[in-house]
Structure 1
């Protein structure tokens, strides 16, 4: 069973492409939410440019400025009881009272983490996407800067953070990267936007970054900052160091747009990737293939992590509705058609464990179990026939 630490995100996302009409092409997973009108205008422009998937990003900045579950556990520096103090420690009483007052005042200054934002799809025009056979998808994303390791321990299990589809972290120090490498199941993206050159020295730490990448976490480059003269140098430098360290694997390029002028079409983004030394055959993956893998990974993280169950083959056969072995033992034979098998699969009882999957995935699992059982029966019958022929 899953522990309390492996809490699942209560997300709305349901991305898994089950049918051909839900094909995935281009994605911009970083459209920053400033106000509803501006966000709606940017999403409309992104659809006209050819994007069929967008993520509305709520960027908090430094997460230490926001109220988290860690603040509920705040105590003064000395945790002993104030009332039962001996007379010798009267001076420390006042000190602890001041610390308590300062701590409460600091908590009251903090802000609440905002909920996810979605645009109203009824105000969007999908005619261009329908002509190309595409389906529009929007997801929610939260991004924050982590400068302290202590904050990370509680922010990922905050109820509001768990409600977002995608969680992105902006590391502020190399020590934070070490902590994130042990918590890769709790977030999806490491972004390097707003990183100064002297704060991005951890980008060259290939061993830690490879370990994070192998766990399914993606790295992000926001090209909107490369369009501004003030941040162009650092953005290009950090991006080249990142791509060189990761060899262009698990790197996505997003806009990070705050205004409509920051958005670029998918073709322009692929051409712009040459500034970071990306090869032509790798550029398309960074706005199409890797974002698709990221969304699938994020959807998987919304299920119960660590739920593992083993069962006997006979129990799996009962799950799939295959009771031919029992009938053979009783001397009964019955020809079952495809329609009867489908009816049995529809009326099969629920599995003895809490399996978090949709109906199509569950039916596919049952069908795969049935096929495996049929194969085992054919192998047994072939071996029996071979043994009888050799004996004769």
Structure 2
């Protein structure tokens, strides 16, 4: 039996709304959801990266997943809307509080940079407007080789007919370039009525140009790969940090020791 995930449920300060979203996701059969904090920096003033609200404070009791005997798993995710290269800070300590890290680039140059260089888990494709650039194979293949996935969300297509056209058009362009690989489909839902079941999303994938197999992977196994990538990214960062600390400690020890007496040279 497949494990389905929705890695993009928009954060709301309204606790009852979040409770309703998570309960509906569990009822529809999603084993994991990620609460998405969208951060859109501006050049006018410095903005602080939002801190995730503890799950225990946001949601009273985690509901049990439909058809399973365990409660739903809730993660925290940060999405940085990047209109300038400086908006994403690779070593920002604020990012460590989130389980998943995503970027939504707004220009072709930033899209290329994100695909080839940025250490993130998800690259978001805008679905609310016509993209100002075309997808190219080189950066997309670069992201796929690094284990980064692309995300298409569907909730905006339910709100407005114009956004529906943009969602389908942008998704189809992406699928033509990536051949349906390393793609996840999530909701970006603001309320419970915007959520759809896993098999409804699989059917929706056909409109995006996905095969039946790729559509199912987009809400199951590829999402699991995102979680594994996030764990690897954090672990790798931790290993680098530990090595640096050990080197500094060794240098301190060597520096604090008195120089050893020189031995006489053998005759």
Task: Give the TM-score, by structure 1 length.
Answer: 0.57
Give distance in 2, aligned partners of 1:47 and 1:39: 12
Tell me by how many angstroms 1:157 deviates.
Answer: 2.1
State the secondary structure of the residue aligned to 2:168: helix
Q: Show CA shifts across 1:316-348 (max 9, x none).
A: xxxxxxxxxxxxxxxxxxxxxxxxxxxxxxxxx
Match of 2:83 among 147, 162, 185: 147
State the secondary structure of the residue aligned to 1:52: strand
Q: Contact conserved, 1:170 with 1:190, CA < 8 A, in 2? A: yes
List 4+ stretches of structure 1 deviating above 6 A.
none
Alignment of 1:192-341 (within 5 A): 192-194=125-127, 196-199=129-132, 201-203=133-135, 205-228=136-159, 229-305=161-237, 307=239
Q: Which residue of 1 aligns with 2:33?
A: 54
Gaps in structure 1 of 5+ consecutive residues: 1-22, 66-105, 309-352, 355-392
Which has a greater percent of helix? 1
Q: Contact conserved, 2:37 with 2:77, CA < 8 A, in 1? A: yes
Alignment of 1:1-392 (within 5 A): 25-35=3-13, 36-60=15-39, 62-64=40-42, 106-107=44-45, 110-120=46-56, 122-126=60-64, 128-129=65-66, 132-134=68-70, 136-152=72-88, 155-184=89-118, 186-194=119-127, 196-199=129-132, 201-203=133-135, 205-228=136-159, 229-305=161-237, 307=239
Give distance in 2, aligned partners of 1:150 and 1:302: 21
Give distance in 2, aligned partners of 1:30 and 1:286: 13
Of structures 1 and 2, the larger Rg is shown by: 1
Tell me the matched-pair count. 238
Gaps in structure 2 of 5+ consecutive residues: 247-267
State the secondary structure of the residue aligned to 1:63: coil
CA gap 1:282/1:182 in 2 versus in 1, 3 angstroms: closer
Q: Contact conserved, 2:80 with 2:102, CA < 8 A, in 1? A: yes
Tell me by how many angstroms 1:145 deviates.
Answer: 1.2
Give distance in 2, aligned partners of 1:113 and 1:305: 20
Tell me by how many angstroms 1:172 deviates.
Answer: 0.6
Q: Which residue of 2 aligns with 1:346?
A: none
Give distance in 2, aligned partners of 1:135 and 1:123: 9
